[in-house]
């Protein structure tokens, strides 16, 4: 079973008797569904509905643990702390490491949970000491088309539905209001998504993040994260046809639409 440590991930603890209600009004998913061994994937948005950070939320006794991008852990604590007011909550970073595994074997005991985005994604674990393993997690998640925080989204620019948060179970449409909920709902119900983050196969040297992507000479998107011959790109809907060949920085990119992704029947926006 492939296992990989994820050194670019960190953990934030939210404790106090109001912890669930506090987060429930701030993030995109239903925090009440977080339980031992069962995480929810959620995002923190600006009031205008733009992405700031995303994390896995898991319950552990009298606390919630947020598995977040390590570079965003301090910012996440700071942003959330602004909304404490009289809520009985405390936030802090905690020294836990993050591991991921995939394959047929069961996940380890302790603070571990299935990745709630896709069954094929495997499991994740919060550990005090590294687990043995040499799995290539980046190749694994790119093959599935899973975004990786700020490598694939832009703070205060990206919207969740561009990055698959709907299909990948990162948004609750029934729990009620949260920060940025109005724009997220309007984008879904009015069909306002004009571009999507999608997997591409790369022939040639992988283009750096931000490289413009063209189709028959017209710019249709830009490159995001990559690893070897796989990558993710933000593409306008007309370019999203499985097998479409694009160009970026001297490389050729073939679009590979994953089975979980739902696109409009006529992608001619």
Q: Which two tokens stand for residue 109?
A: 């005991």
Q: Does the domain at residues 3-185 carry the CATH identifier 3.30.1360.120? A: yes
Domain residue spans of the chain: 3-185, 194-255
CA–CA distance, 30 with 26 (Å, rounded to integer): 10
pLDDT per position as a tens digit, 64-120 = 999 999 999 999 999 999 999 999 999 999 999 999 999 987 788 889 999 999 999
Q: Which two tokens stand for residue 94?
A: 């905690």
Q: Which CATH class is domain 194-255?
A: mainly beta
- Number of alpha helices (DSSP H) and beta strands (DSSP E) in the chain: 4, 15
pLDDT per position as a tens digit, 183-211 = 999 999 998 999 999 999 999 999 999 99
CA–CA distance, 212 with 241 (Å, rounded to integer): 18
pLDDT the model gives residue 106: 79
pLDDT the model gives residue 104: 81
Query: Are 3-185 and 194-255 in the same CATH fold?
Result: no
CA–CA distance, 100 with 121 (Å, rounded to integer): 9
Contact 113, 60 (CB under 8 A): no
CA–CA distance, 205 with 211 (Å, rounded to integer): 12
φ and ψ of 58, to 5 deg: -135, 140
pLDDT per position as a tens digit, 11-64 = 999 999 999 999 999 999 999 999 999 999 999 999 999 999 999 999 999 999
């Amino acid at each position: 079973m492939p296992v990989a440590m994820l050194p670019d991930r960190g953990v934030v603890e939210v404790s106090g008797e109001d912890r669930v209600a506090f987060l429930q009004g701030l993030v995109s998913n239903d925090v009440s569904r977080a339980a031992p061994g069962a995480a929810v994937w959620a995002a923190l948005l600006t009031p205008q509905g733009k992405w700031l950070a995303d994390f896995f939320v898991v319950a552990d006794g009298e606390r919630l643990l947020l598995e977040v991008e390590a570079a965003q852990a301090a910012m996440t604590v700071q942003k959330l702390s602004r909304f404490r007011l009289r809520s009985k909550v405390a936030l802090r970073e905690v020294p836990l490491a993050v591991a991921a595994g995939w394959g047929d074997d069961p996940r380890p005991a302790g603070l571990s949970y299935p990745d709630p985005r896709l069954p094929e994604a495997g499991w994740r674990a919060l550990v005090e000491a590294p687990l043995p393993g040499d799995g290539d997690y980046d190749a694994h998640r790119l093959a599935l088309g899973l975004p990786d925080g700020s490598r694939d989204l832009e703070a205060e620019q990206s919207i969740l539905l561009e990055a698959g948060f709907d299909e990948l179970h990162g948004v609750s449409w029934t729990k009620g209001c949260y920060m940025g909920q109005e724009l997220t709902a309007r984008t879904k119900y009015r069909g306002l998504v004009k571009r999507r983050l999608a997997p591409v196969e790369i022939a040639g040297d992988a283009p750096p993040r931000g490289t413009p992507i063209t189709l028959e000479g017209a710019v249709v998107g830009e490159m995001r994260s990559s690893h070897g011959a796989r990558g993710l790109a933000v593409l306008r809907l007309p370019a999203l046809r499985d097998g479409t060949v694009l160009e970026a920085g001297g490389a050729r990119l073939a679009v590979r639409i994953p089975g979980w992704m739902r696109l409009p029947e006529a992608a001619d926006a």
